[in-house]
Amino acid sequence: MPGKLLLVVNHIDWFWSHRLPLARGAKEAGFEVVVACHGADGDPRLAEAGFRGVSLPGGSPFATLGALRAAVRDESPDVLHVITIKYAFLAGLATLGLGLPRIVHTIAGLGYLYTGEGVKPRLLRAALAPFFRIALRRGNTHVIFQNPDDKTLLERLGLADPVRSHLIRGSGVDVDAFTVTPEPQGETPLVLMPTRLVHEKGVAIFVEAARMLKAEGVQARFAIAGGLSRSNPRAITEAEMRAMTADGAVEWLGKIDDMPRLLAESALIVYPSYYGEGIPKVLLEAMAAGRAIVTTDHPGCREAVADRVNGLLVPVRNARAVADAIRSFLDHPDERARMGAEGRERAEEEFRVERIVGETLKVYSGV
């Protein structure tokens, strides 16, 4: 059915890191691709890649709502694809009365809204539920979930229609961008946590586990790779990161642009998240690089990692369990290698980005 695709994401950086393959696939399928997000204006890479950009404000939701409605009205797309739960309710309001042929939402994890604790997220959930019903349950609307837990929850709450819900696991990984190499020999093994700096990603849990292992005499380097995140209400500040790493148990590497290189230098990847994940891309990249993983038995994480197949699953918020899993891997390099190889196979067979793009294009066309 190709025509015009309006792809709405939260920020231009996230488009390049997570959704470029989808936009390319849609363009190759015959769609005219327009990308709407904060930071789209003035980015020459969009035109170079054959796309157009429409800028959305990054601040007030009311300003975003107005700009999004204007973009949809002006572009009149054949398919509107809105990514993240943050934009779902805004798009639901912005498209009222515009008569679009097909709207697709991707719920890339439930984030702070449905996993946050305390009064504020509970009040937000109650206040926004009617808007999610407006956005997700209309007859021209399809919803893509990245893991079955999120799909089951929103269907049970009546926010998504099972008839028009689809499970497409993650945004995929370009396996060809990662070469499986042996771990560096003769060096202190590097235990790496690649992450966005958000509290619920388990950063403090990783630091505590590293401190335990250092105190027990374990010989390893522990490092966190990730830049500051200013768009999340639970983002970790620079001062907090420096305080957590001041004792030297863990190094903070900051934002890393060459993740294939860093993963190749690592012996083990650790991601003790209790965030509202879709399927974390960092886990898919670790699998593509052939590295064993320690992560949590938590929605999204357990979709990528099968316990004792390509990694170890541990309970959430349990630094002792994380430390014990790390130590087990450090004591058994053969198991690290075996599980790393299994992870690469899973990445190739189940999470290859071409497969994810193909499944998404089928939702666009109604197949």
Give kind and range of the element (H or E) at residue 306. none
Q: How far apart are CA 226 and CA 41, in angstroms?
A: 25
Q: How far apart are CA 90 and CA 99, in angstroms?
A: 16
Q: Topology of 175-350 in CATH?
A: Rossmann fold (3.40.50)
- Region of poorest pLDDT, from 33-47, 107-121, 227-241, 258-272: 107-121
Pick the CATH number of 4-172+352-365 from 3.40.50.300, 3.40.50.10860, 3.40.50.2000, 3.10.580.10: 3.40.50.2000
Query: Which spans in 16-98 are helix H?
Result: 20-28, 44-48, 61-75, 85-94
For residue 120, what pLDDT is reported? 79
Q: Is the pLDDT of residue 111 over 90?
A: no
What is the rounded radius of gyration, in angstroms, for the C-alpha atoms of the chain?
Answer: 21
pTM over 0.85: yes
How confident is the model over 275-298, as pLDDT tens digits? Answer: 989 999 999 999 999 999 999 999
Q: What distances in angstroms separate CA 151 from CA 39, 134, 136, 293, one per listed residue?
A: 30, 17, 12, 25
For residue 84, what pLDDT band results from cuts at 50, 70 and 90?
Answer: confident
Q: Express as a percent the part of the chain with pLDDT over 90.
A: 83
For residue 366, what pLDDT is reported? 81
For residue 294, what pLDDT is reported? 98
Q: Is the pLDDT of residue 33 over 90?
A: yes
Backbone angles phi, psi at 352, to 5 degrees: -55, 135
Q: Is the pLDDT of residue 124 over 90?
A: no
For residue 41, what pLDDT is reported? 86
For residue 31, what pLDDT is reported? 98
Q: Which of 111, 64, 119, 122 is nearest to 233 (CA)?
A: 111
For residue 181, what pLDDT band results from cuts at 50, 70 and 90?
Answer: very high
For residue 3, what pLDDT is reported? 94
What's the whole-number mean pLDDT along residues 217-245?
Answer: 92
For residue 85, what pLDDT is reported? 85
Q: Is the pLDDT of residue 322 over 80?
A: yes
For residue 116, what pLDDT is reported? 66
Q: Is the pLDDT of residue 177 over 90?
A: yes
For residue 319, what pLDDT band results from cuts at 50, 70 and 90?
Answer: very high
Q: How far apart are CA 327 and CA 128, in angstroms?
A: 43
Q: Is the pLDDT of residue 117 over 80?
A: no
- Matching CATH topology for 4-172+352-365 and 175-350? yes
- Please list, residue by residue across 312-351, b when 16 or more beta carbons sit within 10 angstroms of its beta carbon and e when fewer do: bbbebebbebbbbbbbebbeeeeebbebbebbbebbeebb
Domain boundaries, the chain: 4-172+352-365, 175-350
The amino acid that residue 52 corresponds to is R
- Region of poorest pLDDT, from 3-7, 192-196, 233-237, 298-302: 233-237
For strand 141-145 and strand 165-167, is the pairing parallel, antiparallel, or unpaired? parallel
Q: Is the pLDDT of residue 229 over 90?
A: no
